Amino acid sequence: MLTWKSILTFADKGTPIPDQTVTKTDEEWRAQLTDEQYRVTRQHGTEAAFSSDMCSLIEPGVYACVCCATLLFDADEKFESGTGWPSFTQPVKENVISYHGDSADGMQRIETRCNTCGAHLGHVFPDGPEPSGLRYCMNAVALQKIEVV
């Protein structure tokens, strides 16, 4: 189980190597993604709070990166944080997310990116529920929900 201490270590020393990498040109990303998905994932934007019904949708399934389809989160780790963005306590594997210090907007945060394709996902904070205490605060447009069959 990842903890805040392990997240800070990854942000400082580097994230575990991903299982694979996906690289595309800017033109390929623009052709694949909607304008909002591109703005958030490729330009490190943030969608408006409470703009997606994914926040309160708690049902079985998994969540993948909208850019490369890498599995990122299981719905079993999802919770309603009240923040306006989908929130999770743990990724499906230690190496699917990369962590980067982010001091934009005068805040000290840890940015999360897909470790496979580099898509901006959101941020992780140390104010989630136990036992990990983590809250992965994700942009809904950066995720695609996949039903479990």
Catalytic residue annotation: 137
**What does each C-alpha distance from 116 to 11, 19, 26, 58, 72 come to in angstroms?**
16, 8, 16, 25, 10
Distance CA 67, CA 116 (A): 10
Q: Is 26 exposed, middle or buried (0-12, 13-18, 19+ CB in 10 A)?
A: exposed
Amino acid (one-letter) located at 115: N
